[in-house]
Chains A and B, each alone.
Chain A
Amino acid sequence: MKSLDIKKLRDIVGEENIRDNLADLYVYSSDASVHSSMPNVVVRPGSTQEVQKILRYANKNRIPVIPRGAGSGMSGQTVPIDGGIVLDMKRMNKILEIRPEDVLCKVEPGVINDELNRVLEPYGFFFPPTPSSGKICTIGGMIGTNASGNRSVKYGATRDAVLGMKVVLANGDLVTLGSNTKVDSSGYQLAKLMVGSEGTLGVVVEATLLISPLPKYRAMGIANFKTLEDAGKMISSVIAAGVTPSMLELMDHVAITAVNKAQNLDLPDVAAIVIFECNGMTKEAVDYEINQIKEISRKNNGTGVKVTDDPDEMTRIYAGRKKLFPSLSRYREKLYTTALADDMAVPMSKIADTVKKIHEIAERNNIVMSAYGHCGAGLIHTKILMDTSEKSQWEGAKKAVKEIYEYVHKIGGTTSGEHGIGFSKGPSFKQEKKDSLDMMRKIKQALDPNNILNPHKLMDSPDDWLTATPLRYQIKDL
């Protein structure tokens, strides 16, 4: 990397939109992952032309460029391993078009998910991917990671809702990908390829998104299970029966204990709880699906099955799941939540086995793990709770992560369901996708021959996530 010409970048974006003070660089050195590495400069482009100019300059001078939205990624996607330019995209936040008649909208990448939904609501529409970070995460970040959320069981992930986009390539060229149509059989689906590419292939400057009509009615239920196997069977039976719940969430015993301890919610002391929701345009249609789920729950030994369409009661039912994340942070003194092995997806029938395996591996490696998540989509969230100051805990976590992913791959699951790879999951990802890594590298080489766009991520990530960069914690004897 040649030395950075800050003045040149300042001329492109203006004084107000560039920072190279150590304090700012320190803040932009991390995201919601465990890693940290300083950029050389943070730049906030306000237009496509500015993005093009920055990339032309960076490409010519072989300077890494790391696109960043809200910086809420959990796998280190926006951590600049080799320094370079962090491209903060939040200024490009205009909603450009809303076309209900075409069931689509066009937005800039810095638009916040919930802000888009707020603007779509009067039209009777919404943007279906529902990440729990929706209040702050940007569309650009969601595209980068192919984000989804608790409604992915019905609506899919961001990739399913992206029709097209405009992308600035590494050499500064602007290309239009995809179309304005729901079906597209016109050659390579390059817009879909960009989704989940984590800023390694181009910088998205405009996205065409599929929107959905807002459901008019919804109902929610809860069922308790004495064994994880029963809960797992219930989940896969619901999906196999052709029911399309808008939410199908699992909480394991550690999760239940954490919520009860931290929030006094008095959830039953059982092996697993499943929360389900159905939505639709008529009460009859929703009731039909809800009744099917109730029946399937009972058949799989679900107890205490409760269903409601009262908004307050639905909020109360979901409170346990909603408050799980903060509860884990308060699970036990000196145990801190780290985002590692946090979002694997497995075949539906393997959910219970995977959750059991996670606990077995955690115990063997002397760490605490909880399992929960959007299991209706096969997605399991885990959090590793550990004393982040202890070297041995990190070593245990590293071993556990490796063992968990080996198991996940063995049963046909995938490394990440919705948070992406970054480099926290690099080693496991490379193991899982070993047959296609060369293909990925060729695509990267074709689009970014100088390797300036978010280097050392995905297939090019370091072999050891623990030593790839400094961690953002103080660790004794490390």
Chain B
Amino acid sequence: MTDKNKSKTKGKHLKKYEPQMNMCIRCAYCFESCPIVKETQWDTDGARGKVILSYGLLTGDLEPSQYIADKFFRCTFCRDCVERCPSKVDILDIISSARAELVEAGFASETHKHIVDNIKNTGNIYGDTEVISQERDGKTPLFIGCQYLGRPNKTKKYIKILEKLGFEPLVSKEICCGFPMEVLGFREEYEEHKKKFKKYFPHENAITLCPTCTVFLNEGHNIDAKHVLQVILEKIPKANLGLKVTYHDPCDFSRGLKIIEEPREILKKLGVEIVEMEHSRENSRCCGGGGGILMTDQKLSDNIAKKRIYEALETEVEILVTSCPTCETVLKKAAQEISEEEGKTISVRNIEDIIWMGLKNVEAS
């Protein structure tokens, strides 16, 4: 039998998950629709592989290395494995803890370091000191998030939508929720950032625009955060846009927050017919943009996104709607490439565009 008594890593982050790793019965059910395994077909790239590698790092069977780090950063955090796991192992916590071990052992990627430095120095992932936060007085705290701060026109649109529907959003200068630090394994930096975040955003509840920020405000900061679509659902008027679309469920929505019906109900109220893709709702396939993979393995991310666009094309509609800015960006790029290469086209739109069109439609009529 093996001598697994000495650990070559600190195991600081992984130790508490040892029972979870033992709970993993290694059944491989997590392979079923893992976007990475579907692409590479290597067992090492699936959740089971990552749990085994984590166990190796914890027990000292494996030493941290760049090769292992690259494996751990090959994950979109799409939560599909979590849904499939019959033993309900906290797979994402294990992966992010292993990432933390690897980062502390000196195996962080330069791109990820750059993002974390941006957050530390400027408060947002883009390192943009001129970010317009569109501050305004109001009653309900609105957390915009880096992705929307970097897309000021979209933010403006959502704020106008909220105001048109009778909300009074309170917008103040904000900093990143810190999710990138946590998910990329920069835990010390995140703990520091968390204290700072509280000062900028001292609220106990919030409306949010980004699905990932919504999850993380709840889980990481204990803030009662509701996504804007949950909040405005009841107030959306009936419109008659007459569009036929397919809807891509962002992973943090359908599997993280279980927000599945709300966007569909909103679209239906606005007179939009939805043609579902083969994999939708909690079984939605990943767009390929999450977990930091977009920054470290663009080709893999592109391939995953293209698969999703091919699935959308099978619905034979002209528009794919989603409700996450990252999904939108990644899928738009994939759709553009497929259009150029094969002449098959589908337009990728974010749901706020459709809501805005719907409200205009109501005003016009």
Residues of A participating in the B interface, judged by any CB pair closer than 8 Å: 19, 21-24, 26-28, 30-32, 36, 44, 70-72, 88, 90-91, 133, 135-136, 325-326, 329-330, 333-334, 336-337, 339, 388, 466-467, 470-475, 478
Contacts and interface: CB of A to CB of B under 8 A. Distances in A.
A133 B27 contact: yes
A339 B25 contact: yes
Interface in B204-220: none
Given A26-B53, A330-B88, A91 B23 contact: no
Interface stretch (B28-36, B132-140, B333-341): B28-36
Contact of B22 (A133, A467, A473): A473
Contacts of B2: 36, 470-471
Interface stretch (B61-69, B152-160, B184-192, B221-229): B61-69
Question: Size range of the interface on B?
Answer: 35 or more
A23 B41 contact: no
21 contacts: A22-B62, A23-B44, A23-B65, A24-B44, A26-B53, A26-B62, A27-B48, A70-B28, A70-B31, A72-B27, A133-B28, A133-B29, A136-B32, A325-B86, A329-B87, A337-B87, A474-B5, A474-B59, A475-B1, A475-B4, A478-B1
Contacts of A336: 19, 22-23
B268 interface: no
A478 to B, nearest CB: 5
A24 B42 contact: yes
B196 interface: no
Nearest to B22: A336
A28 B55 CA distance: 14
Interface in B47-101: 48-49, 52-53, 55-56, 59, 61-62, 65, 67-68, 71, 84-88
Contacts of B48: 27
Question: Which of B2, B18, B23 has most A Cβ within 10 Å?
Answer: B2
Contacts of A70: 28, 31
Contacts of A478: 1
A90 B68 contact: no
B1 A467 contact: yes
Contact of B32 (A135, A334, A474): A135
B27 A388 contact: no
B244 interface: no
A231 B84 CA distance: 32
B68 A23 contact: yes
Given A91-B41, A473-B22, A23 B53 contact: yes
B43 interface: yes
Contacts of A28: 43-44
Contacts of A471: 1-2
B87 to A, nearest CB: 4
A88 B43 contact: yes
Interface in B318-337: none
Question: Which of A19, A23, A135, A471 has most B Cβ within 10 Å?
Answer: A23
A19 B65 CA distance: 16
Interface string B100-144: 000000000000000000000000000000000000000000000
Question: Which of A27, A32, A88, A388 has most B Cβ within 10 Å?
Answer: A27
Contacts of A467: 1
